Structure 1
Amino acid sequence: MAKVRLSIRLKLLALSLFLMSVPWLGYQYVWEMESFLRLGQEKTLVGTAKAVATALHERPLLFDQHASYQQRVEQGKDLYAYPANGPIRLDGKLSDWLNFQQRAVFYDASYKLEKFEVRSNSDLSFEHSVNQFQDFLYLSFKVTDDAVIFRNHQSLSIDKNDYLEIAIKTKDDALKRYIFAATKTGWVNGYEVDSNNRAGTPEKRIQGYWLVTPTGYNLELRLPIEWVGAKVGFAIYDTDHHASLPDYAIGTADTRLVDNLGTVLVPSPEIDAIIKALSYSNSRIWVVDKHGRMLAKAGELISVIPDNSVIKIDLFESPFKWLTTQVLKPLYYQILTKPPSAFVDQLKDSFFIKNKVLDIALQGQSGTQWQLTPDNKAVILSASHPIFIDGEVLGAVIVEETTNGIRTLRNQALESLFNQMLLILSIGTLVFALFASRISSRITTLKKQLESAVDEQGKILNSVEPSTTNDEIGDLSHSFNRLISRLSQYNRYLEGMSSRISHEFKTPVAIIRSSLENLKNEQDRGEQNVYFSRAMDGVHRLDFMMNAMSEATRVEQTVNTDDKEEFDLAEVVSGCVSGHRIAFNQVEFVCHVETAEYPIFGNPDLIVQMLEKLLSNAIDFSDEAKKVEVSLAKKQTKFELKVSNIGTELPQVMQEDLFDSMVSIRHTDSAKPHLGLGLYIARLIAQYHKAHISIKNRNDGYKGVCVTCLFEGD
């Protein structure tokens, strides 16, 4: 696993980060404060709900005796009067009805009155809605009927046509029925009828308008709230023939049975007046019956906030204020959550509540609930408390409030904390960072000078410029300058050693050769011939050593020139292997060159020389089978040349050092001298061609060595 490297700049910066613990502790304190504020808000909201509920305890007159006390609410039978924003114009167009399609109840054959048979081809249906404004109820009926039959204006009968029937239960439990039948499009009156549908005088307190539409007709009514009894029912009667009684009817309830009538729950203006006196800003109070229907509501969660975003600041008079307001504050709110001025309020226009906090209140207990808005912008806290009448839970008070106020206080505290700490930390960190950067920059400069002074083979290229600063890093640069100068002198000495040794060897070798030749011509005794043979062998060894060192020097001089040409590497490899097959016929050469183009830029003679060194080593270290394998393949953009044999393996400790000068692993008693320059020359030639050469033991199941050379393709 690679060791992680940490620079001095990074270490000093990491140490300076400990200063950030101070604002972090302040940040944590503010968050703890917010938790306590939320707990206090929860208790306050529960207290508000309890106070409102206490004001409504044991006041049965505030609640509808039938709509609020009933144990079960039936869909389509028990209706709710939605509050209207203003009076509704009676014109049959339904344009003044808010959200009519969402609030209207749909009635079809499933609401058929029992005394009528089911029509197989009936298209009669209607949508019905109830609104309330001040002391009036507004009723709307959008009827779908394929044949609208009007009342004959000369007929005394009002039930041999299409009509609406309203049945109410009076305070003395009597049943009253009213029929609304139109003679044409326009205003329509309601008539109280007896059990035989005989009409009496028109009911003047009720106003209505009948409008024929392409799908049927619309009917709008306005009637006083006090006129509606404890129970009420509506039914649409239909006939498809003139002067005939209706043969089909659907409605909210059977209008001839008083016990089958439904209810209309009207929000209580008395309760509304009470809770408005107790409500406060940015909160909402609900009073609902035990079925979750709204009786009164006061307040809103979203209030209009004045736009103070544009603030004129004199930059010269208050630069710090400009910095904190225009620069830092927007930066803070990349992390902080700003209370939204608008968010999705699901219950804003709702008139029914069904949630956990209401269920708790209907069980006779106080409850709270934290809830995230659907758009995830705000958190709403709800608190509830039951309303008791005669020991029975008749409804509940629900108080709602957002956490925007607490979040605003939290943000103001964090802004003040950050502004003060940022000023202190900025000055300290800036000085710290400048000091660390200065030290790191000087060390990096010294490192680059050292890396450029010596190449990968240890050759001295440049010197290190000593620093003029009188400190530890300056002293270090002076020391490196002196060290590089000494190494440069020693390197030049080593580079000239080969030529000097060669020069020194030539004279004694010449003397030895001439003396031995004269000795052979003048004396012919056997013992002298043995000495002569040994002397000649030594001369040959010295001559080989001299030639090897001269060859290394010539290669070093050649690779320093720019005399390069483009040639085909495959052609050079194949030709070199073919030549070795002729020269070493006792060795089996296996050459495999993949079909491709292998153009490289360099010197083909040097490549041949490198291959001769590699093949010579492969032959010398092969076993008795004498088998050498040479392969050339294309690997993406590189050319891979491999020379391998079957024989002696390399020791693991010397594989990285074999390419150095005068390093050899041959046995010292070998008859042929070896200076360990073969692989050194091979590496020089590979580097000249910008190739990478490596040597390792084979891993393909055979015992031996493989040399790999990777060339960059042109």
Structure 2
Amino acid sequence: MSLRRKLLLVALCTLALPIAGWLYVRQMEALLRDGQAQALLASAGAVARSLVVTGAVPPASGRSWYVQPAPGPITVDGYGDDWAPLTPWSQSLGQHGKLLLTEDGDGLYLYAVVREIQRTRADADDANALAADHLILTLGNATGQRRYLLTSAAPGPLVAQPLDPTVDGLPDLLAAQWQEDGSGYQVELRLPRSLHLRVLGVGVYDAAAGGDRMASDTRGLLSYSDKLSGELAQLVPDRVQARVLAPQGWLLARTGRLNSAPGADGQPGWFASLVYRSLLATRLEDASPWSQDVPRLDTPEVSQAGAGKPVAVWRSGEERGSVVLAAAVPLERAGKVDGVLLLEQASRTVPLLANRALFGLLLTSFGVLLVAGGILLAFATRLSLRLGRLRNAAERAQLNDGRLDGLFEQGRFPMTDAPDEIGDLARSFERLFEVVDGYTDYLRTLASKLSHELNTPLAIVKSSLDNLEHAALPAEAQPYLARARDGVARLGALVRAMSESSRMERSITAAEPEDVDLRDVVRGCADAYRALIGTRRLDCVLPDTPLRLHCAPELIAQALDKLLDNALSFTPEHGWLRLSLSAATDGAEIELANQGPLLPEAMQGRLFDSLVSLRDKATPGDAPHLGLGLYVVRLVAERHGGIASARNLDDGSGVAFSLRLRGMPRQRLSG
């Protein structure tokens, strides 16, 4: 992984800032909401105590029937078309029945639906009417209670028959409508408001199931109270909606409306609302069970308050971007819950402030992240460039054999003046290259120094051997004299070769370049070699177009001579050689391949060093081979800005030596 990528990963660690900020904003939002919830619970408790003290809420009397306000004119015909808006809040009647109650200025309306498949029919005035399917209606006022029988043998109007003695204020006969279908029957009737009913009972008798024919479920009546709503309006704070509910959740009074209009800070957009609901307010209840116009609230919070436990909850508002805080407290009198007070307050401030804090924090954090990432990226880029300069300088300063290319003649090592650790590294490199340069120069001139120093001792030894030849020596000493003379000859050849190597390096350095067509150079060498290779075959492969290069042709020919001499030493008598010339991307390449043994892996990187040879050791009396030929080839290649290399052929039939030449630099003529 590059240095810039590593520093980029370090910069990404600053992402912990927005994450920590988000957790902080979320915690602050929760604390803010908790504070508002406690304040609203305190207000609800104060209002509840006032309602209890003033006796505005009637005492709870157990189970009750709820009478809903009429949604419109009610026609007593036995059909449920007029009752459709009230159907979702019907009340259970027995095991298979539903009861709806509503009232308007004309009276109290009752609509009962009973689902029965098996029917037993009779009219109310029949002797066996109580044995048929029927309803028992119980009416009660301040004087007493009276029961009525409602049944019919056919759909249409019916007259309810009283089952009990006369009670003041209660009618003797009741008119009703009976309708039925394949699933059961429906009964609808109207009771005058003058009855002043306190309780109402309805019982369903199924002849097929049996049971008590006279039983009815008698309960008190609950309904929406305008008087209680007026008293509630005087106690509730501004911009708060209040509802008084029966312990079962039925609506008894209501005042105020939720203020869902946008405030001074505006209305949150859909994206801001989404961010608030998904990232901050993760505990919002659904708004649908809390509708403002329903006659009954059936939520866990209302049930808890009905059981005597105050509770507060945050829910989604009906308007986009709003949230609603609801606080439900019990209305208790003498340890008994008479109802539930529900206060609701819409709030746009919490989402707006939380979103504003979150977005501000995110923008600041990401701004800091971008700035820190940019600074780290710039620092990493500069550091990479500086290290790259050191790497390039080190690669340019040294050759494959450890020699330096004259970097210090052009100037000092780069960035040695820098005061930081990179400068220390550059100065260390500079000192290292100075030492390596001095040692390499010593090794380069060692051959000429040794050849010069060895000439005098060799001359003394040779003259001594010449004198010994003229002296009378015993016969057994003659072999030792011959061996000494052979050793002196080999040592003299070695000294001459070392001296020749030094002169050759100087001659290669002093060679003058010219523009030539390399095809002519290679072709001429190939024609000359065919007379020297005996029975071997030499193929010459040249390009079709001229291949011109600014070079020293005599040096290239000399290098090819060394390569041919090396190849002939390993090519069988009837083997083959191939000399080829091809164009390269930055110059030319000359390759001489020959049939013969493969190169050892350990020697491929040392073949072009001085005094290295793979030929068999010469026998006494033969001229020694000093391994300077391929060294000369390397010097010629480097003089032309290229390299010399050797490889085994892919088919394993032999080896190939190649010269990659880029050309010699052109010299400027000074005026």
Q: If the length of structure 2 is used for normalisation, what is the TM-score?
A: 0.51
SS at match of 1:407: helix
The whole-number CA distance in structure 1 between the counterparts of 2:266 and 2:210 is 62
Cα distance 1:291–1:399, how it changes in 2: closer, same or farther (>3 A)? same
Task: Trace 1:665-684 onto structure 2 (pairs within 5 A).
Answer: none
2:245 equivalent to 1:288: yes
Q: Which residue of 2 aligns with 1:169?
A: 140
Quick one: which amino acid aligns to residue 150 of structure 2?
F
Task: Trace 1:92-491 onto structure 2 (pairs within 5 A).
Answer: 92-97=78-83, 103-104=89-90, 111=95, 125-131=96-102, 136-146=107-117, 162-174=133-145, 176-182=146-152, 184-194=154-164, 201-203=172-174, 208-224=176-192, 227=195, 229-238=197-206, 256=214, 261-279=218-236, 283-299=240-256, 303=260, 344-348=287-291, 349=294, 351-353=296-298, 355=300, 359=304, 363=308, 367-371=310-314, 381-389=325-333, 392-409=336-353, 445=385, 447-448=387-388, 451=391, 455=395, 459=399
The whole-number CA distance in structure 2 between the counterparts of 1:270 and 1:179 is 35
SS at match of 2:260: coil
The whole-number CA distance in structure 2 between the counterparts of 1:456 and 1:164 is 111
2:47 equivalent to 1:46: no
Aligned mate of 1:525, from 469, 478, 497: 478
The whole-number CA distance in structure 2 between the counterparts of 1:607 and 1:384 is 103
Indicate conservation of the 8 Å contact 1:84/1:133, yes or no. yes
Q: Which residue of 1 aligns with 2:616?
A: none
Cα distance 1:163–1:10, how it changes in 2: closer, same or farther (>3 A)? closer
Cα distance 1:275–1:532, how it changes in 2: closer, same or farther (>3 A)? farther
The whole-number CA distance in structure 2 between the counterparts of 1:607 and 1:294 is 110
Quick one: which amino acid aligns to residue 190 of structure 1?
A
| Offset from partner CA, 1:12-39 (integer Å, 9 cap, x none) | x899x89x99x99999999898677546
Give the Å deviation of 1:224.
Answer: 4.8
Cα distance 1:153–1:519, how it changes in 2: closer, same or farther (>3 A)? same
| Offset from partner CA, 1:119-148 (integer Å, 9 cap, x none) | xxxxxx433344556775443333333355
Give the Å deviation of 1:166.
Answer: 0.9
Aligned mate of 2:61, from 45, 66, 69: 69
Q: How many residues align?
A: 507
Task: Trace 1:537-576 onto structure 2 (pairs within 5 A).
Answer: none
Give the Å deviation of 1:56.
Answer: 1.9
SS at match of 2:61: coil
Cα distance 1:613–1:285, how it changes in 2: closer, same or farther (>3 A)? same
Indicate conservation of the 8 Å contact 2:37/2:312, yes or no. no
Aligned mate of 1:613, from 576, 597, 600: 600
Give the Å deviation of 1:613.
Answer: 2.4
Structure 2: which 5+ runs fail to align?
Answer: 412-416, 470-476, 505-540, 542-590, 613-624, 635-643, 651-671
Give the Å deviation of 1:331.
Answer: 13
| Offset from partner CA, 1:188-227 (integer Å, 9 cap, x none) | 443434489xx995326xxx44333332333333435674
Moved more, 147-156 or 186-195: 147-156
Indicate conservation of the 8 Å contact 1:290/1:395, yes or no. yes
The whole-number CA distance in structure 2 between the counterparts of 1:55 and 1:182 is 51
Indicate conservation of the 8 Å contact 1:137/1:222, yes or no. yes
Cα distance 1:382–1:684, how it changes in 2: closer, same or farther (>3 A)? farther
The whole-number CA distance in structure 2 between the counterparts of 1:399 and 1:452 is 78
Q: Which residue of 2 aligns with 1:649?
A: none
The whole-number CA distance in structure 1 between the counterparts of 2:109 and 2:447 is 122
Query: Once superposed, what is the RMSD of the aligned Cα atoms?
Result: 7.3
The whole-number CA distance in structure 2 between the counterparts of 1:131 and 1:40 is 41
Structure 1: which 5+ runs fail to align?
Answer: 112-124, 239-245, 311-324, 467-471, 551-562, 564-602, 618-656, 665-671, 690-714
Indicate conservation of the 8 Å contact 1:148/1:217, yes or no. no
Quick one: which amino acid aligns to residue 171 of structure 1?
A
Indicate conservation of the 8 Å contact 2:74/2:82, yes or no. yes
The whole-number CA distance in structure 1 between the counterparts of 2:165 and 2:158 is 22
Cα distance 1:353–1:543, how it changes in 2: closer, same or farther (>3 A)? farther
Q: Which residue of 2 aligns with 1:700?
A: none
Indicate conservation of the 8 Å contact 1:62/1:268, yes or no. no
The whole-number CA distance in structure 2 between the counterparts of 1:144 and 1:431 is 74
Aligned mate of 1:55, from 47, 50, 55: 50
Indicate conservation of the 8 Å contact 2:331/2:339, yes or no. yes
Indicate conservation of the 8 Å contact 2:287/2:316, yes or no. yes
SS at match of 2:37: helix
Quick one: which amino acid aligns to residue 211 of structure 1?
Q
Indicate conservation of the 8 Å contact 1:288/1:397, yes or no. yes
Cα distance 1:283–1:249, how it changes in 2: closer, same or farther (>3 A)? farther
SS at match of 1:303: coil
Cα distance 1:223–1:500, how it changes in 2: closer, same or farther (>3 A)? farther
Cα distance 1:266–1:331, how it changes in 2: closer, same or farther (>3 A)? closer
The whole-number CA distance in structure 1 between the counterparts of 2:22 and 2:447 is 77
The whole-number CA distance in structure 2 between the counterparts of 1:660 and 1:347 is 94
Indicate conservation of the 8 Å contact 1:340/1:378, yes or no. no
Quick one: which amino acid aligns to residue 183 of structure 2?
T
The whole-number CA distance in structure 2 between the counterparts of 1:171 and 1:223 is 16
Quick one: which amino acid aligns to residue 191 of structure 2?
L
Indicate conservation of the 8 Å contact 1:149/1:161, yes or no. yes
Indicate conservation of the 8 Å contact 1:193/1:200, yes or no. no
The whole-number CA distance in structure 2 between the counterparts of 1:418 and 1:306 is 23
The whole-number CA distance in structure 2 between the counterparts of 1:372 and 1:256 is 47
SS at match of 2:290: coil
The whole-number CA distance in structure 2 between the counterparts of 1:495 and 1:350 is 106
The whole-number CA distance in structure 1 between the counterparts of 2:626 and 2:110 is 121
Quick one: which amino acid aligns to residue 213 of structure 1?
D
Indicate conservation of the 8 Å contact 2:240/2:258, yes or no. yes
The whole-number CA distance in structure 1 between the counterparts of 2:648 and 2:376 is 39
| Offset from partner CA, 1:270-321 (integer Å, 9 cap, x none) | 32333244446664423234455543344555735599989xxxxxxxxxxx
Give the Å deviation of 1:159.
Answer: 5.4
SS at match of 1:141: strand
Indicate conservation of the 8 Å contact 2:3/2:380, yes or no. no
SS at match of 1:261: strand
